[in-house]
């Protein structure tokens, strides 16, 4: 197993401990979470989105949270997503919304989760907006794709999209299945700790499959959101300009809030559309630890925060 994957596994296992979680959440944004999370309230997040829009960046807003314990928590999360769609509309922001199905009760009651998603995508359709369903760990890959398929049957493909992860062996097959629907896909490498019988343990293979998936989706004519900070991959995909039938490709680049801002600006300057995944809310712990697990250097931000600098 590569060093990067070992580091990810170690960090995700340490941060899973209650003690560590209690400490980090108590010392909150001071530990450096503010670098990756826009704000805790929707109101302050709107101001951050205005700043990003003024720089020329589009946004996808993510109300933080996952794997809720009750229907009430799922309903509360859905309510915030609806309020977020309304705020985007009221403030005329260039933004859409990303959601996690486990935050909307997928693991408690699938039917209820679909009901909530139906309301959310319905509201996005009314407002001319778009909902991206994030992809979570491999235990929910298949059900996430099925719910996506169901929602687009009901609301059309213009207002809902989903994510595929290049570290999973199954993803090439999934992409083909989704291409038949002309699916708007965000392509990512994958942020969870997955076993070698279902995910590539070697990062080079993850990167190779990423390029193959993105190139094929772009050339097929489907809308592709290239979500990575990997400069080499971005340079390679910039060369893909035409679909198999000779039309211009339809794509955008996506990056996480607070990461690779120089690369975001370069792409903007070259005329590409760039969207920043902007998380907000109080439940930032799991998101924050995944960002640390991806990159050892991010630990320095945490340590600096601990030292109060």
What is d(CA 170, CA 153) in angstroms, rounded to the nearest whole number? Answer: 23
| Distance in Å, CB of 253 to ligand FAD, minimum | 9
Per annotation, catalytic residue among 62, 132, 134, 175: 134
Counting contacts by CB under 6 A, is residue 228 touching ligand FAD?
Answer: yes
**174 included as an active-site residue:** no
**186 included as an active-site residue:** yes
Nearest Cα to Cα of residue 143 among 104, 169, 179, 196: 104
The verdict on whether residue 25 carries a ligand-binding annotation is no
Residue 283's CB is within 10 A of a number of other CB atoms, namely 20
Residue 288 host element (H or E): helix 285-294
Q: Which two tokens stand for residue 36?
A: 């990756």
| Distance in Å, CB of 84 to ligand FAD, minimum | 17
Residue closer to ligand FAD by CB (options 71, 216) is: 216
Residue 112 host element (H or E): helix 110-126
By CB under 6 A, name the one of 33, 59, 191, 234 that touches ligand FAD.
191
Residue closer to ligand FAD by CB (options 152, 229) is: 229
Counting contacts by CB under 6 A, is residue 222 touching ligand FAD?
Answer: no
What is d(CA 91, CA 87) in angstroms, rounded to the nearest whole number? Answer: 6
| Distance in Å, CB of 254 to ligand FAD, minimum | 4
Tell me the backbone φ, ψ of residue 293, rounded to 5 degrees: -65, -25
Residue 290 host element (H or E): helix 285-294
Q: Which residues are catalytic?
A: 134, 186
Give the annotated binding-site residues: 100, 135, 165, 189-191, 203, 228-229, 290-291
Interacting residues with ligand FAD (CB under 6 A): 134-135, 163, 165, 188-192, 227-230, 254-256, 259-260, 277, 291, 294-295, 298
């Amino acid at each position: 197993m590569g060093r990067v994957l070992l580091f990810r596994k170690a960090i995700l296992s340490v941060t899973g401990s209650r003690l560590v979680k209690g400490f980090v959440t108590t010392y909150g944004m001071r530990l450096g979470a503010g670098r990756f999370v826009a704000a805790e309230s929707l109101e302050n997040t709107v101001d951050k989105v205005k700043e990003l829009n003024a720089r020329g960046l589009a946004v996808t807003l993510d109300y933080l949270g996952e794997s809720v314990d009750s229907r009430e928590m799922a309903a509360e999360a859905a309510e915030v997503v609806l309020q977020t769609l309304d705020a985007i509309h009221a403030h005329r922001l260039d933004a859409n919304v990303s959601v996690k199905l486990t935050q909307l009760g997928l693991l408690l009651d699938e039917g209820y989760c679909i009901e909530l998603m139906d309301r959310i995508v319905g509201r996005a359709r009314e407002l001319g907006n778009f909902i991206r369903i994030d992809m979570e760990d491999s235990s929910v890959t298949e059900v996430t794709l099925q719910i996506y398929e169901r929602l687009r049957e009901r609301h059309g493909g213009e207002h809902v999209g989903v994510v595929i992860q290049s570290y999973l062996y199954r993803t090439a097959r999934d992409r083909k299945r989704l291409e038949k629907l002309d699916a708007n896909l965000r392509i990512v490498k994958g942020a969870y700790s997955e076993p070698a019988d279902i995910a590539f343990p070697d990062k080079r293979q993850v990167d190779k499959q990423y390029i193959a998936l993105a190139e094929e989706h772009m050339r097929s004519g489907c809308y592709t959101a290239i979500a990575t900070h990997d400069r080499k991959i971005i340079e390679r995909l910039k060369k893909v300009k035409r679909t198999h039938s000779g039309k211009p490709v339809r794509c955008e680049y996506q990056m996480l809030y607070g990461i690779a801002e120089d690369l975001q600006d370069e792409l903007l300057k070259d005329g590409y559309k760039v969207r920043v995944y902007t998380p907000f809310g109080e439940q930032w712990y799991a998101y924050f630890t995944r960002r640390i697990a991806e990159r050892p250097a991010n630990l320095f931000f945490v340590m600096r925060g601990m030292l109060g600098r």
